[in-house]
Structure 1
Amino acid sequence: MDENLAALITLVLAGGPPAPRHSLVRHPRGAAAALAAGLPLWTQAGCTPAQLTALTQPEPTAFTRAWHWLQQPGHALLHLDDPRLPQTLRELPDPPFALFVDGDPGALWKPSIAVVGSRSPTPSGRALASEFSLAFARHGLAVVSGLAAGIDAAAHRAMLGCGGDTLAVIGTGPDRAYPDHHVALQAEVAACGAVVSEYPPGTPARAGQFPARNRLVAGLALLTLVVEAAWRSGALITARLAAEAGREVCAIPGSVRNPRARGCHRLIREGAALVETPEEVLSLVAPSLSRALPGLKSALEVPIQELPAATLPPAMATDADYQRLWNALDHDPIPMDSLIMRCGLTASGLSSMLLAMELAGIVVCEHGRYCRNPGFPTSTAS
């Protein structure tokens, strides 16, 4: 048995304030040694009486359930210090102690937009969620949402249908689906991206867990888009939390006769950006993407042999991966799968680089195919 993983599970199940638990995980000799040290060290770390009781007498059924879940392929438990968790989550005012991940942890690094809204949208709202999500996929962005009925499900399904990347943050244990009929959808998202939860396996749906879930949806995304929302809506909580975390928030306006548009109108009055097209959203997310690109690239880059320099912006001209991508591009549009074969780069890394080059005016995307921008001045690279 991996003793440090077992200790991390025990600390997750202990609940309560995260600071004492972080202190134990970060013990110089590891979490297992910290738990083996017993009450004196736990008390010194600041554990509450409830945490001391939970660490002294762990609940065996919950531990066994979590341990068995984590032994299955594609399942992981990541502490906040784990390098597989993106910086965007660490920057939250209330970051998670740890996350259970079903799927690829690398998907959490994908530049993403949160698409959220009503659980009972109008047909138009559902169509807009799909339309905007498809546009984001064409530009190499992932979509993150909460796997709820309505707008969330429409966004996830649109991304799955086009082969895009999608992430789901759920308010139950990672082995539960809510609503129940989303079992198959949740499995698809896990197979193609990732499903994440800060609640241990077996945790049922409880009302208070969903607002907490919303902060992680907002935290993973560079921007939150609200499609339809009533005056009082969980989507508005996500938008507020995104704004508090310093992220861009935008909303699609609707008819004054549509009660599901009132929340969007409220957000716009309070300062959210009014958007009518996916292109307006992409314009808003560009500055955030530019700031996130260095950390993203560091997490995804694959070392390759240096290539001859090209006339590109300084940040790209000195990067071998960008040089390889530039040399693989042509003046005629090329599909993504052909670029992957030409470059030998990962699909996630390539998508992020293409988006950065497109936003810089270097690359043009036409119907999901990429080519050099004829108006971009080059010399040796042309």
Structure 2
Amino acid sequence: MTPADWADDFAHWLRLERTPGVGSATARKLLAAFGLPQNIFTASHAALREVVSERVAEALLAPLADETRALTDRTLDWAAQPGNRVLTLADTDYPKALLDIADPPCILYVKGRIELLSSPALAVVGSRNATAQGISNAEKFSETLSQAGLTIISGMALGIDAAAHQGGLRGCGSTVAVIGTGANIIYPNRNRALAHMIAEGGCIVSEYALGTPVMSANFPRRNRIISGLAQGVLVVEAAAQSGSLITARMAAEQGRDVFAIPGSIHSPLSKGCHLLIKQGAKLVESAQDVLEELKHHGPAQCPPAAAAPAAAGMASRTLDAMGYDPIDLDTLAARCELDIAALHAELLTLELDGYVEVLPGGLLRRLTTS
């Protein structure tokens, strides 16, 4: 197909998607009846009425709107830039995993490494208001799984999503961000630097037309793509009413595996994970649990993960003395047989290295590194 032919073909896809009254279900009915979109717009009124309502048939036969024409031109300009692609359901590069779900997007806007959309993948999702331990778990699980060759899929939100992308970028599996705005809009703004890193070393994908602003209804809907691109979904932290549970439900409906990391029975952000486990999600304590369940052994060319720097000497003894329950400074000093000043210095280093967090009230808690 020549560039001119492709541009004409895409124009029909975008026109179909932008036609008033044509949602995803109606678009699929029309495509099933007429094949490619250009056949829809050359069909007779009578033929269209056999598939859609009078109102929709008239909208399909109406002249092309100036707004849609202008959007087509902007999109073609965007797609001509290096690293940008637009895929339709008819493209050979359209990810086959999405063809298996009930509601595949008609158009995908892709920025970055398009091949990642067809790679073995795991979705990692969770709370925007995550704990330090949750962020650590998401990042370390994602890094290990990416080093094993799995592409990490998430939604580029704050908290667990951002940590998952950062971990994924450190492995050869890399990461894919499925966003709920146009592909030329970065949201949230705090993830701007991360978005640039993903566009460079991973992939950003959206089903929404360029310029689509932040709309709350679009984010739950994009979750079906997050789960649809993946072999399974790992929920790291989630409250009982978390949007991550929507992704997990969609994954189950799509026949994907659902995994959950358990947490404290006292933490509100463990309630969603515990609910999923009660409903049949697989409890995982390490990245290896996920790899074994998925029977994924990783590509031969993927280098092993670099060992995380270990606390040594006195730092190691301090962590051992802490255990995994919250502890106050005086008790820890007594266990370590250190004066408070020396212990303060040691704890500052451990906190900066990501081994310890300070809880409200001054309590200390060790962060696990699995």
TM-score by length of 1: 0.70
How has the CA–CA distance of structure 1 residues 11 and 282 changed in structure 2, closer, same or farther, with 3 Å as cutoff? same
SS at match of 1:253: coil
Give CA-to-partner distance per residue, 1:211-261, whole Å, 9 cap, x none. 111111001010100000111111111011101111110100111121111
Counterparts of residues 26-45 of structure 1 (less than 5 Å): 31-32=37-38, 34-37=40-43, 39=45, 42-45=48-51
**Which shifted more, 11-20 or 102-111?**
11-20
What letter corresponds to residue 160 of structure 1 in structure 2? L
SS at match of 2:136: helix
Deviation at 1:76, TM superposition (A): 2.0
Alignment equivalent of 1:157, drawn from 166, 174, 177: 166
Counterparts of residues 198-217 of structure 1 (less than 5 Å): 198-217=207-226
Contact 2:149/2:171, CA 8 A, preserved across alignment: no
- Tell me which residue corresponds to 1:119: 128
Contact 2:175/2:202, CA 8 A, preserved across alignment: yes
Alignment equivalent of 1:190, drawn from 196, 199, 206: 199
How has the CA–CA distance of structure 1 residues 32 and 115 changed in structure 2, closer, same or farther, with 3 Å as cutoff? same
Alignment equivalent of 1:46, drawn from 36, 47, 52: 52
Contact 1:268/1:274, CA 8 A, preserved across alignment: yes
Alignment equivalent of 1:93, drawn from 80, 90, 102: 102
Contact 1:70/1:77, CA 8 A, preserved across alignment: yes
Contact 2:176/2:203, CA 8 A, preserved across alignment: yes
Contact 1:80/1:96, CA 8 A, preserved across alignment: yes
SS at match of 1:95: coil
Alignment equivalent of 1:282, drawn from 291, 299, 302: 291
Counterparts of 1:68 and 1:25, CA distance in 2:
26
- Tell me which residue corresponds to 2:17: 12
Check if 1:271 corresponds to 2:276.
no
Counterparts of 1:87 and 1:368, CA distance in 2:
32
Counterparts of 1:256 and 1:13, CA distance in 2:
48
Check if 1:75 corresponds to 2:81.
no
Deviation at 1:3, TM superposition (A): 1.1
Q: CA RMSD in A?
A: 2.7
Q: Unaligned 5+ residue runs, structure 1?
A: 291-350, 356-364, 370-382
Alignment equivalent of 1:179, drawn from 185, 188, 191: 188
Deviation at 1:177, TM superposition (A): 1.6
Deviation at 1:190, TM superposition (A): 2.0
What letter corresponds to residue 122 of structure 1 in structure 2? T
How has the CA–CA distance of structure 1 residues 152 and 366 changed in structure 2, closer, same or farther, with 3 Å as cutoff? closer
How has the CA–CA distance of structure 1 residues 125 and 215 changed in structure 2, closer, same or farther, with 3 Å as cutoff? same
- Tell me which residue corresponds to 1:143: 152
Give CA-to-partner distance per residue, 1:107-155, whole Å, 9 cap, x none. 1011011010000100010000011011102211110000111000011
SS at match of 1:250: strand
How has the CA–CA distance of structure 1 residues 192 and 54 changed in structure 2, closer, same or farther, with 3 Å as cutoff? farther
Runs of 4+ deviating beyond 6 Å:
26-29
Contact 1:34/1:41, CA 8 A, preserved across alignment: no
Contact 1:20/1:47, CA 8 A, preserved across alignment: no
Contact 1:169/1:213, CA 8 A, preserved across alignment: yes
Q: Unaligned 5+ residue runs, structure 2?
A: 308-370
Contact 1:6/1:67, CA 8 A, preserved across alignment: no
Contact 2:122/2:153, CA 8 A, preserved across alignment: yes
Contact 2:259/2:290, CA 8 A, preserved across alignment: yes
Counterparts of 2:61 and 2:85, CA distance in 1:
22
Counterparts of residues 241-280 of structure 1 (less than 5 Å): 241-280=250-289
SS at match of 2:138: helix
What letter corresponds to residue 98 of structure 1 in structure 2? I
What letter corresponds to residue 9 of structure 1 in structure 2? L
How has the CA–CA distance of structure 1 residues 34 and 367 changed in structure 2, closer, same or farther, with 3 Å as cutoff? closer
- Tell me which residue corresponds to 1:63: 72
Counterparts of 1:52 and 1:255, CA distance in 2:
58
